Amino acid sequence: MHPGSSRVVQWGEREAQMIEISSLGVRDGHPPFQCELSSALVYSGHGLTNREGLWTLYLPAISCLKPAPGGDRAASIVAMPTTFGSAERTPRPYVLVARVEGAQIAIWSFDLDGQHAPAVEFSWHCVIEGSFIH
């Protein structure tokens, strides 16, 4: 691995089950009688925000899996500040915010005062549903 680079783990699930729910959540009820059969791609890796506290990723540009993600499905992403090195090194707390538009992802880093925080290391994990382009 080259300095300043990250290996991205990728895998696909061709028979994923999907169900559409309210964005407000589901309080109670019964499982649906039938879910939709779909496909899902999963990616994970590490990133480092730039001087403006921004990191961007376009999933089709890095996808080893074919077909690559596309269409109108939005990626679901989780990012968490991650400090590499000695376990004795106390990590500084940061807030990460993700903005998703289809397969385009932006991660913004902020300090606890709400100011953009540069050079924040983080780990990320992303899942995107079928709806592919070749």
Q: What is the CATH number of the domain that holds 16?
A: 2.60.40
Question: What pLDDT digit, counting tens, does each position of 35-65 carry?
Answer: 777 778 888 999 999 999 999 999 888 888 7
Q: Residue 4 falls within a domain, yes or no? A: no
Provide the token pair at 27. Answer: 């309080």
Q: Residue 2 falls within a domain, yes or no? A: no
Q: How many domains does the chain have?
A: 1
By the 10 Å C-beta count (0-12 exposed, 13-18 middle, 19+ buried), 109 is classed as buried
pLDDT of residue 14: 67
Spell out, as residue ranges, where the chain has pLDDT lower than 70. 1-3, 13-15, 32-33, 66-68, 70-72, 130-134
Sheet holding 95-101, edge to edge: 54-58, 104-110, 95-101
User: Per DSSP, which regions of the chain are E strands?
Assistant: 9-18, 36-48, 54-58, 68-69, 76-81, 95-101, 104-110, 121-129, 132-133
Q: Residue 26 falls within a domain, yes or no? A: no
Could you tell me the residue range of the domain that residue 110 belongs to? 9-21+32-133
Q: Residue 96 falls within a domain, yes or no? A: yes
CA 32/CA 15 separation, integer angstroms: 17
pLDDT of residue 30: 78
DSSP annotation of 60 reads: H
pLDDT of residue 95: 96
This prediction has a pTM of 0.78
Q: Which amino acid is at 113?
A: D
Q: Residue 27 falls within a domain, yes or no? A: no
